[in-house]
Structure formats: C-alpha cells, structure tokens
Structure 1
Amino acid sequence: MTLSELNTLSEEQATETLRQCCASSHWVECMVAARPFANIESLLIAANAVWSHCQKSDYLEAFDAHPKIGDINSLKKKYQNTQAMAGHEQSGVDEANAGTLQALAENNGKYERRFGYIFIVCATGKSASEMLTLLEERLHNEPADELSIAAAEQHKITSIRLCKMLKNTSLPKEGAIL
C-alpha cells in the first residue's frame, strides 16, 4: 500500500487497515480522521500525537491484540488478520531453546498476574534470551512505570507496522519520531 492509497481508502477500509497496526479503537479513529497525510513523517507525527493522548484503557485495548511473546500458535490462530504485520516480530523466538521458551512462558504468567496485561516489548530484532532478560527486569517495575514502558513499546511496534504497511518506506531509525 502507498501513502496515497491509505489517504484515499474509505473510512471503513482505513479503519481496518490501521487496526492492523494498533488495535486501540481511539487511536484508529483519530488516525482515520487525521488523513490525508502529506508524507510518512507527518503520518508518524500524527501517530505519536494521538498515542500521547491515549489513556490506560486505550493501551490495554492495544495490548490485548498481541499474543504472548513466544506463543507462536496464538499468533497464528488468534491474530490471523495481523499475521502479515506481526508474523516476523517474534522471529527471535523461533530459534530459542526449550529452557528459554519455558522461562518466557513462566515469566509471562508472573508478569500478567502482577500487571494485569501481557508483557509488551518491541520484539523486532531481539532474540528470545534478550526478551527474557527484559521481561525479568521489568517484573520489578512499579505498575505505573511499567504501564508507561509497555505503552512506549506498543508505540514502537505501531510505528514499525505503519512503515511496513507502506510500500517503499524504510523503518524509522533509532531515535526517530515514534
């Protein structure tokens, strides 16, 4: 899809397309209303602005659309409509050993019991052991701090998906507007 095509989609089509990048209804509605975008930078600026005004319920709605890290069967089954976007995000888990996968599963459970939602991390480019280390570290965060971290990770994921969605668009560089 090109940016021009995104700009000219019907409201219903744009809603469905943007929902594949982030499942927060509020974020999607605002992004659909913000069209047309002049360029990818303006799209990312709008995505950032909208996300920065989201509330906890919006974050939780977006988090709920993710499979648990390492739960590839869940990724394939529950999230078929976002599989093209999300399918490679957890590719670092594909080569993990059984012990790492077991530790991810156990710590995911601890995380969910502690914070009330699944562990959210921008998994792109991370190995399973890196994600496990992050998960173990973040288990010690205060709930309000962790929600902010998880929301920032969700926004990274969304930005990457927006760029993947658009043809001939490179991913945002480290430190870019996210």
Structure 2
Amino acid sequence: MKLSEFNRLDDDQARAVFNQCCGASRWVRLMVAAKPFPSKIAMQDAAAWLWKSMQAADYLEAFDGHPKIGDADLLKKKYRRTRAMLTREQSGVAQASDQVLRELAQYNHDYETKFGYIFIVCATGKTAAEMLQLIKTRISHQPDREITIAAAEQAKIMALRLDQLIEAE
C-alpha cells in the first residue's frame, strides 16, 4: 500500500497494519497517534524512535507475537494473519536437515525456559544452521543482555515488515 493510502486509513485500520509489524500494543498505539507520516523514511524513523522508548513488558508483548523459529505448525494455526510474511522471513528453515530442526527445537525450549520468552532473531536471509549457531551463543547470555539483543532483533523485524507493507510515493 502506498504511504498516502496508509495515511488515509482510520485508526483501527492503521492499528491492524502496525500490528502486523509488532505486537507491542503501546508501540502500535503511539505509531497510530503519530500518523500521518510525511514520508516512508519519517515512518521508519518514528518506528525506531518509539521502539527505543519501550520497556521490558512491551518487548515481551511483542515477542509473544512471533512463532518459534522453525515451528511450521504454529505458523499455520496461531499466526494466520501474518503467515505469508512469517513464512518468507523463516524461509531458511525450509531447507534445514532434520538434525538441525531437532537441535533448533531443543535450543528453543531451553532458551524459553531460561529467559521466559521465545528466541527472537531477524531470520530474513539466515539459514537454519546460522540461527542455530546464534541461539547456541545467545543462550549463554545474562537475562539483561539477552533482552536487549532480542529487542534489537525485534526492531530489525519491524523495519523489514514496515518496508514490505508500505510503499514510498
């Protein structure tokens, strides 16, 4: 959709678009309040700036809007509205061996047990093996460091999704 079309959406419609980018309700509410945007760059800048003002509870709410890396069944069920986008983002998992998928599943479980939320990574362009290496590294982090990294990954995901959903004029 063109930016001019987006700017004409009512608040509920704009909220639905932003919810596809990030599940943090406070971020979505602030983005809706910030419209209209004079340019796509201004929208991206606002998204990044507002994300930096979020707190841990906002991060956790956003993280809850993601399926586990490689969880194809959950993609089909819970995330119907954004399935195409999520499938594209996680396309590197489609070619993974059964061994890599089993390890990813185990590390996902261990990560969630340790941190209380799923492993968040901007999966676009990454293979399953690369994501497995990332989770193996990140699981050793302290919780305060890891939530900061996960939040930065969420910011990358939001930027990519906004870029895909909104066209410049």
Q: TM-score if structure 2 supplies the norm length? A: 0.97
SS in 1 for 2:88: coil
Partner residue, 1:114: 114
1:117-167 residue CA offsets vs partner (Å, 9 max, x unmatched): 000000000000000000000001010000000000001000000000023
Larger relative contact order, structure 1 or 2 (CA cutoff 8 Å, min sep 6): 2
Q: Quote the Cα distance in structure 1 between the aligned partners of 2:120 and 2:154.
A: 7
Do 1:85 and 1:165's aligned partners in 2 also have CA atoms closer than 8 Å?
no
Partner residue, 1:73: 73
Q: Any unmatched runs of 5+ in structure 2?
A: none
Partner residue, 1:13: 13
SS in 2 for 1:20: helix
SS in 1 for 2:4: helix
RMSD across aligned positions (CA): 1.1
In the TM superposition, residue 8 of structure 1 has moved relative to its aligned partner by: 1.0
Structure having the larger proportion of residues in helix: 2
In the TM superposition, residue 17 of structure 1 has moved relative to its aligned partner by: 1.1
In the TM superposition, residue 85 of structure 1 has moved relative to its aligned partner by: 2.4
Using a 3 Å threshold, how does the CA distance of structure 1 residues 76 and 168 change in structure 2: closer, same or farther? farther
Q: Quote the Cα distance in structure 1 between the aligned partners of 2:166 and 2:49.
A: 20
SS in 1 for 2:118: coil
**Equivalent residue runs for 1:125-136 within 5 Å:** 125-136=125-136
Q: TM-score if structure 1 supplies the norm length? A: 0.93
Q: Quote the Cα distance in structure 1 between the aligned partners of 2:140 and 2:50.
A: 29
Q: Quote the Cα distance in structure 2 between the aligned partners of 1:148 and 1:51.
A: 12
Q: Kindly indicate whether residue 124 of structure 2 is the aligned counterpart of residue 142 of structure 1.
A: no
**Equivalent residue runs for 1:34-53 within 5 Å:** 34-53=34-53
1:76-115 residue CA offsets vs partner (Å, 9 max, x unmatched): 2110111232220000000000000000000000000100
Q: Any unmatched runs of 5+ in structure 1?
A: 170-178
Structure 1 residue identity aligned to 2:38: A
In the TM superposition, residue 168 of structure 1 has moved relative to its aligned partner by: 5.8
Over the matched positions of the two proteins, sequence identity in percent amounts to 51
Do 1:69 and 1:119's aligned partners in 2 also have CA atoms closer than 8 Å?
yes
